[in-house]
Structure 1
Amino acid sequence: MTDTQAYPPISEQLSDVETARAEGRRKMEWAAQHMPICEHVREEFLADQPFEGERIAMAMHVEAKTAILVETLADGGAEVAVTGCNPLSTHDDVSAALDAHDSITSYAKRGVDDEEYYEAIHAVIGHEPTVTVDDGMDLVAMIHEEYPELIEGIVGGAEETTTGVHRLRAMDADGALEYPVFAVNDTPMKRLFDNVHGTGESSLASIAMTTNLSWAGKTVVVAGFGYCGKGVASKVSGQNANVVVTEVEPRRALEAHMEGYEVMPMAEAAAVGDVFLTTTGNRDVIVREHFEQMGDGVLLANAGHFDIEIDLEALADLAVDRYEARDGVDAYELADGRRLNVIAEGRLVNLAAPVSLGHPVEVMDQSFGVQAVCVRELLENSEQYGPGVHDVPDDLDREIAEIKLAADGVAFDSLTETQREYMGSWDHGT
């Protein structure tokens, strides 16, 4: 192993590690009951041991559902090292429960500062991975920037989220990505369910529980109308809110308009919104000029990825006072007395707010099932994938959908041979 800079696993950082492990295991057992896809895949991995001798490095939101994926990979024969991909999304008890597994080392801890966050990633990389599984691409970036000597030994990786895939594609376009990575975020079983239903349900639930406020009658400004934004808009509309969408892509703006939402620039939306929720994965979506237009008591939250969608430096510069209005809510008081309330420090609200639990269990079962079979694919067919970003093979995505349908007792039709022949032909006219 390389030098891990002596950053300790979570078990060495907790005062009552046994109690934490027991509580973490309890959470994991509840999640596992509702994750039939991962259970199905785990049984296959236990029997086949496809990862024997492999070392898997992971940077993920370490909570109960993620833990099932981590253990699924470890039970398939891998040595797994894992840390968080957000300073506020780790559940320490779950991290401790993972660290008790003979084949897992967990460095994830909630509430770390920037230095500790990156020290933990260094520690994970110190296990000299042969496969990476990432959420946001920090792990892949650090390997390329600081550990290029390890790249030759890495078979490939899988990336979970929209922001990470955007970063990877930019890296690939620059010719800087030196091993294959599956864009798990872009496959249908991820974006149609995790991004739409997962983000929509979990972000709204986290805000409601953190603030104890209703959605009904409020004007909710959703920044971005990609899959995550669509999910948020649909779910909050269903809770009787008035929805305003802001967009930079004309076709998505038109789609939002045709679906009945009011569409306007953020400069106009700032004056009418009660709640602002960013879902873009970009930076500086809500900035100083927007804060200056907002009403007293607005809520500001981020369901994108990094904590740069809302310009908190500009907001702090405008404020004459900042205080904790409620657990997980920071109030910024402006000179004229208006208070703008930021939830979860502008970090990913469905995971970083004090009461957040992330996406629903059933949704993440699908996403993590795709992650697991992608790792298997990389190791079984590594010769087929050169450096760069790769789409998930469609048969793998279908495999996960079929497992889910079978688990839920849902039957579906198949094409007949005649239909298959017709759909594959070009010479059948009118």
Structure 2
Amino acid sequence: MTEPRPADRVSRRALLGLLGAGAAGAAVGAAGAAGVAVAATGTIGAAGGGGGASAYPFFGAHQAGITTPAQDRLHFAAFDVSSTLDRTGLIELLTEWTEAAARLTQGLEVAEGGATGGSDYAPPVDTGEALGLPASGLTITFGFGPGLFTDASGADRFGLAARRPAALEPLPRFQGDALQPERSGGDLCIQACADDPQVAVHAIRNLSRIAFGRASLRWSQLGFGRTSSTSTSQTTPRNLFGFKDGTANLKAEDGSLLDEQVWVQASDSPAWLAGGSYLVARRIRMIIENWDRVQLGEQEMLVGRSKGEGAPLSGGTEFSEPDFEATGVADKPLIDTNAHVRLAHHSSNGGARMLRRGYNFVDGNDELGRLDAGLFFLSFQRTPQQFIDVQTSLAADGLNEYLKHVGSAIFAVPGGVREGEFVGQALFA
């Protein structure tokens, strides 16, 4: 195994010293973790910032960035692992990513020496664009794609095939899919969420640098304006169709539901994934120009909720439970049989629910001058079948006329990282 360059890595002693203090911060919540960011050397910026916690603990029973209150910005990246990488090299990469992520999420530079403290005759070990910025609630979440276990040719590159979760298969083709290979798949993924877009981009940029020669960026997606709330402390945001999105989403406070619907349990298989989850990513293009010509009443019928309050058309307020039996004129259902809210509801899908964590995106325009815009859908669930059941049900969704799914990926998200370990270490045990 080639020994990693000292300048590119955080010393294990320094990491454990820093994050031993971070563990104490975790015990008193995010404020304690923010204090660690201020006290440690190599700090990017002072603790503080608006709204949420300055820094979230990196270590814990589950990876951060799942039930963490959804931040305002996203940079998501999927990677292909080099054909020359071996098992030892993969472990080394994951170790270096873990060490860097643990620092970045606390508002520190990617490694000691950072952007300005190294040799004048070597590239800086941190790119520097986040200097002076606080941690901004940054969370970094890692996932493993099907190709990490068995590649397209069937080769078991890393001796992991026997430990592949049976449920970790590429998603089936759904009605209306127009998937683009260059926006789909990936052996590894990193989800960086923050309240400052530059902090999220800085994280992905530096983790990509660390991976140079071992894993290459396959595709990435920037997101703004979260499209769901993951805590009862958050208000419900709106998507680019102008409707409140994620009203019925699972929340961090729903402990028993999270155990039932989101977290892989110790009794599930494989055991190494306990405390983790499955992540589905879908890039959904919204045909904005067509939608903007639809009458308000039809828009509300297609969604099944009012555009202003977000209340179900069966009556009540935003958080009133939809009454799918309620009828109106000529005994027609108040919530249309093909309305999105009806077809996506857990009562229509055998009780299946997901924790959604999506973002809006606008990536310029296409060759016809239409906005390349939509929803970057992210969901976490205990098994991919939950997503498959709901997406299959949505085949009859009236909104499909205005949506096009162009990207798709699935990843197994390992459980939380303990101090002194690397992300996914149980997989290699």
TM-score by length of 1: 0.25
TM-score by length of 2: 0.26
